[in-house]
Amino acid sequence: MNVKTLEEGVKIEAYEVIGILAHEAEPENISLDPLRGETRDFCRRCVVNENFRGKPGTSLKIPVADGAVKFVMLCGIGKCEDSAEESVREGAFRIVRAAASKGYEKVVLQAPKANEKVRSRSIAEGAVLANYRFDKYMKKEADDKFKAVENVVVIEGNEEGFSEGKVLAECQAYARDLANEPGNVINPEVLADKAEELAEAFGLECEIWDEEKIVAENMGAFYAVGRGSENPPRFIRLTWPPKGEAKKHIVLVGKGITFDSGGLDIKPADYMTTMKGDKSGACAVLGAIRAAAILNVPHKVTAIIAAAENMPGGAAYRPDDILTARNGKTIEINNTDAEGRLTLADALAFASELQPDAIVDIATLTGACAVALGSYTAGLFTNNDALGDKILEISKRTGERLWKLPMDDPNLRKQIKSPFADTVNSGSRYGGAITAAMFLEEFVGKDIPWVHLDIAAADFIKEPRGYYVKGASGFGARTLASLLMEC
């Protein structure tokens, strides 16, 4: 998609869809700025009759016949003083989606403060997200007129904001496409192929390790998780080498379980569906490094994925097994369904050896996190409040909700102690997201600023909401990419 500022002299009546993002006001005062003449009068009457007041999440679609115009659509973005980025993103989405679903191609948008970069970014993000569909495995219905909108123009927009927003949302869409692919299509080897394709296309360095190399590199925890599957594990490392000297080195680690059956501690059927999404952290990390390359960030960025399929095959690892991770720590297994943290243990140990300025991992790690925060907010854990706060602040703008959870409870920490090994791979149900984070911390280098994002359930949209359709959300891709742009 292309998002541009409306050229001078071009009449808005040349567009099929006119979208207006409106701040909260009395219906008489709702901004109808770009509209003129009879259309304006007609829309004002509709706004008053319908009592449209610009509340966030509300919209009004008004059929109009004037030049090329098919409809005018207003979307509320709340009060002026609110930080309105999320409702702007959603409003732009709704308008462009409404156009796309009718097959209309010419869309013009009006939004307050569109000349500001952040605002234009949100508009572009919403517009790009509106084209998203994962329909490659379906026949198109006869009455389905959906057509992706290729061009959106904005009255008085900010070009830099448009191009950034477009890249960020496209990288989110890239992450969603990958995460939506089922386990029979994407296994660890295929995920590694995808990473290689990405490297090829965007000038990244790529290194893939097969199972022999994984064993030789002492990744005993990660390797054990992959053993129960016919599809062997792969260790994936992508690097973005900035032009000139790197300002910082940031490592992103994504959980890449291409399917999580639970292993020998097999999941009940109801919990096993959506587990193709257990690679969502990896997908978000790939999306973020893709954005870093396109936007030419001045930092060295490394993306690490320990990709495996958690299956209960004959060679599967067992409860009671004791594994040795790359950093030498031994792990007693008490649940083979707590596999993500084992793959991350070796990935984080490896990441720490690179001595980067920061490590951020993102993982669909625990159902307990979803129980604590719901499925719309992800948990944030950190050993470094400055880095944690930076990411929390960014997430306020990206709309990817994060909430910080504590890691300082010594009694909870006792739960990952084992009588037979240095640590055990799962604690009790209570505080399960926290004990998982504490487990990960055992594998992070002592002085390295580290943030762990638990995106369990936030990775998957059960019912359409906001600018999301059903399926993978791509949660985290925009926030991580923004971190790379701003840190």
Judge whether 248 and 343 are in contact, CB under 8 Å: no
- Find which of Mn ion, ligand BES, Zn ion, none residue 177 binds, CB within 5 to 8 Å per kind: none
Assess 260 for contact with Zn ion (CB under 5 A).
Answer: yes
Catalytic choice (267, 396, 404, 413) = 267
Which C-beta is closer to ligand BES: that of 260 or that of 400?
260
- Count CB-CB contacts under 10 A for residue 102: 15
Tell the residue number behind the tokens 């000349």, with chain if given.
115
Assess 125 for contact with Mn ion (CB under 5 A).
Answer: no
Catalytic choice (341, 390, 397, 478) = 341
Judge whether 355 and 281 are in contact, CB under 8 Å: no
Which C-beta is closer to Mn ion: that of 283 or that of 358?
283
Tokens of 423: 């640590």
Please identify, among the stretches 133-141, 294-302, 334-342, 349-357, the one whose residues bind Mn ion according to the rule CB under 5 A: 334-342
CA dist., res. 265 & res. 244, Å (int): 49
Which C-beta is closer to ligand BES: that of 93 or that of 475?
475
Q: Compute the half-sphere exposure of residue 242: CA atoms within 13 Å on the CB side of its CA.
A: 19
Look at the chain and count its residues: 487
CA dist., res. 367 & res. 430, Å (int): 11
CA–CA distance from 270 to each of 75, 261, 274, 311 (Å)?
Answer: 37, 11, 9, 17
Selected binder of ligand BES within 16, 339, 400, 441 (CB under 6 A): 339
Assess 337 for contact with Mn ion (CB under 5 A).
Answer: yes
Which C-beta is closer to ligand BES: that of 43 or that of 456?
456
Assess 254 for contact with Zn ion (CB under 5 A).
Answer: no
**Nearest distance in Å: CB 325, ligand BES:** 17
Assess 454 for contact with Mn ion (CB under 5 A).
Answer: no
Please identify, among the stretches 81-89, 249-257, 415-423, 473-481, the one whose residues bind Zn ion according to the rule CB under 5 A: 249-257
**Nearest distance in Å: CB 343, Zn ion:** 9
Give the helix ranges, DSSP H, for 295-408: 340-353, 367-373, 385-398
Please identify, among the stretches 217-225, 242-250, 366-374, 403-411, the one whose residues bind ligand BES according to the rule CB under 6 A: 366-374
* Nearest by Cα to 71 from 21, 20, 22, 16: 16
**Nearest distance in Å: CB 433, Zn ion:** 13
Tokens of 111: 């939004």
CA dist., res. 80 & res. 63, Å (int): 27
Assess 432 for contact with ligand BES (CB under 6 A).
Answer: yes
Tell the residue number behind the tokens 């006792």, with chain if given.
414
Selected binder of ligand BES within 297, 347, 387, 457 (CB under 6 A): 457
Assess 338 for contact with ligand BES (CB under 6 A).
Answer: yes
Tokens of 64: 């109009």
Question: What x-and-dash track marks residues 209-248 binding Mn ion by CB under 5 A?
Answer: ----------------------------------------
Q: What is residue 227's DSSP assignment?
A: T
**Nearest distance in Å: CB 359, ligand BES:** 20
Q: Which of residues 87-146 bind ligand BES (CB under 6 A)?
A: none
Residue 361: in which H helix or E strand, if any? strand 358-363
Active-site annotation holds for 470: no
Which C-beta is closer to ligand BES: that of 30 or that of 344?
344
Beta strands 358-363; 402-404: pairing state: unpaired
Question: What x-and-dash track marks residues 313-342 binding Zn ion by CB under 5 A?
Answer: ---------------------------x--
Amino acid (one-letter) located at 296: N
Which C-beta is closer to Mn ion: that of 16 or that of 260?
260
Amino acid (one-letter) located at 320: D
Question: What x-and-dash track marks residues 250-269 binding ligand BES by CB under 6 A?
Answer: ----------x---------
Active-site annotation holds for 267: yes
Q: Which residues contact 54 (CB under 8 A, 6 or more apart)?
A: 22, 23, 24, 25, 30, 74, 76, 77, 78
The footprint of ligand BES (CB under 6 A) covers 260, 278, 335, 337-340, 364-368, 370, 426, 432, 456-457
- What residues are annotated to the active site? 267, 341
